[in-house]
Structure formats: C-alpha cells, structure tokens
A = this chain, B = another copy of it.
Amino acid sequence: MNSGKMTEASDRERQAASREMVIREAAKRRISDPAGTRGQEVLNALMEIIEVANLKVGDRLPSEKELASSLGVGRSSIREALTAWQRMGIIVRNKGAGTRLAADVTGNGIQKPVVIQVEAQGLMRTLAVRRPLELEVARLAIHNATEKDMRIINARCEELLALYEAGENWFDADHRFHEAIYDASGNPLFGQLIKQLHAAFHDIYQAPFDQPKMADRSIPIHRDLADAIIARNWEKTKAVLIEIFSIVEDEVTKILHEEQ
C-alpha cells in the first residue's frame, strides 16, 4: 500500500514537473507590446499555456507570481486579466489556495485544435445573435431616426471609410458607426446588447486573425448600408445587411478552415 501511495505521489510529482517544463517552454516568448492594453495578450498567452500543459477543468494554474515572471509582465497585469476570466466564470480563485480552471467555455477539454475551433465558434455565435438584432435595429432606425440621426450616421460612415482607405485603424470608427444606428433606433436596450456582442467579437477577432482580410470585403459595403438607411429603404437595407453578414460569416468560416 505504501509503495502504491508513493508511486502515485511520484507520478503526480513527475507529472507536475513535466507540466512545469512545458509551461515554461510555452511562455518562452515574452510579451512585447509597450503601447496599449496587455490584458488580451496575457489572456492569449494564458490560453496557450493551458493548451500546451493540457490543463483541464479543476486543474490549478501557475501562481500569479510565476505567470508574471514567466510572461515578463507585472503581477498587476496578470491579476487584471485573471479578473476578467474570473468574472466570465472561466477560472475560480481562492485566497490561500490558488487559481483553478473552472469552465468548459471550450466545451470538452482544451486541446490545440479545439481552441481555434471554439474561438471561431464563438465568433459564429456572436454573429448569429447579432444578425437578427442588427436587422431589427436597422428596421427601427428607418422608422424612428430623425434627420439629425441620419446626419450622424452619414458622418460616422464617412469617417470609417476615410480611415479604412487611409490604411489606419478603423475598429473604433466601425464601432461608432454601428453605435449611431443603435442610437437612432430609439431603443437603448438594443444598443446595450449589441455593444457587448460587438466588443466580444472584436476581442476574439482582433487577436488570432489578421484584420485586413475581412475588411477588404465588408467595409466598403458600409457605404451602401448607410445610404439605404438614410433613404429609409427597408428592402435595400435588409439586403445589404444580409450581404454584410454573409461576407463576414464566409470569412470566418474560411479562416476556421484554414487554421484547421
């Protein structure tokens, strides 16, 4: 019995040692983004660690101190990133104990090929929810928007296209453009929901995939969308929106396929 216990113990020990090795291996490349928010990068690195170490629900993550030194960032950054995951129910933190993986956001076990699939699934899910919402918002905007709302929509659209054509970062402008449509709908609840979905989409989209790819096809059409809404033409608006979603979904599917 003792031998059994000891074998078990040494097994665990060996496993832990090996796990620590792969974790250090996975965390080799430092995070290097002096400007901007590191939260997302920390989470990406953490995801990679989880993949490589094959951590499953219930397993303990490396301590905050270890993560900080491994990733080359401060403990504050680690904590902020972990707080986000904690709020989302992905991890559970216990004072004195440690941080454990709690969620099956990834479904069944976290493995290399699954992760991208899951992330892309997340993309598709946000799109599936956004489609009916944005259609309804556009319908309401056509009915309820004032002329002032329309001018704002037009201005935001021009801003977006200008940034896009200049090759600059158009993410915020895209957000503001759609926001103008939500505001014009007259129902703030839509805005709240879609805003969250929009942010979630960009969180996932910005990280693992390159952004110009999708934009090449979906951004220019936004001009048509703005025109159709301003003209209060529901049929045209509907068609353009469906086309936009079709493009985006097509791109996401392609990316998913490529990454497999």
Closest to A134 in B: B132
Give the CA-CA distance A126 to B190 in the complex, in Å. Answer: 9
Q: Which residues of B contact A128 (CB under 8 A)?
A: 136, 140, 187, 189-190
Identify the stretch in A20-28, A81-89, A229-237 within 8 Å (CB) of chain B at 4 or more residues: A81-89
Q: Which residues of B contact A240 (CB under 8 A)?
A: none
Is residue A196 within 8 Å, beta carbon to beta carbon, of the partner chain? yes
Is residue A19 within 8 Å, beta carbon to beta carbon, of the partner chain? no
Interface size bracket, A side: 20 to 34
Measured between C-beta atoms, what is the minimum distance from A109 to chain B in Å? 14
Closest to A196 in B: B89
* Docked-complex contact B103 and A189, CB < 8 angstroms: no
Give the CA-CA distance A235 to B107 in the complex, in Å. Answer: 33
Is residue A135 within 8 Å, beta carbon to beta carbon, of the partner chain? yes
Q: Which residues of B contact A187 (CB under 8 A)?
A: 125, 128-129
Is residue A104 within 8 Å, beta carbon to beta carbon, of the partner chain? yes
Is residue A60 within 8 Å, beta carbon to beta carbon, of the partner chain? no
Give the CA-CA distance A39 to B95 in the complex, in Å. Answer: 14
Closest to A79 in B: B80
A89 CB contact (under 8 Å) in B39, B131, B132, B192: B192
Give the CA-CA distance A56 to B102 in the complex, in Å. Answer: 36
Is residue A17 within 8 Å, beta carbon to beta carbon, of the partner chain? no
What 0/1 readout, one digit per residue, does chain A (167-191) give for beta carbons within 8 Å of chain B? 0000000000000000000011111
A125 CB contact (under 8 Å) in B104, B132, B188: B188
Contacts A80-B80, A125-B189 known; A103 to B195 CB distance under 8 Å?
yes
Give the CA-CA distance A252 to B83 in the complex, in Å. Answer: 28
Closest to A102 in B: B195
Q: Which residues of B contact A189 (CB under 8 A)?
A: 125-126, 128-129, 197
Q: Which residues of B contact A126 (CB under 8 A)?
A: 189
Is residue A76 within 8 Å, beta carbon to beta carbon, of the partner chain? yes
What 0/1 readout, one digit per residue, does chain A (72-114) give for beta carbons within 8 Å of chain B? 0000100110011001110000000000001110010000000
Known contacts A89-B192, A104-B188, A125-B188, then 8 further A-B pairs from the complex at CB < 8 Å, ordered by chain A residue = A79-B80, A102-B195, A103-B191, A103-B195, A129-B189, A129-B190, A131-B136, A132-B136
Which 5 residue pairs of A and B lie closest in terms of their CB atoms, listed nearest first?
A132-B132, A132-B136, A89-B196, A125-B189, A84-B87
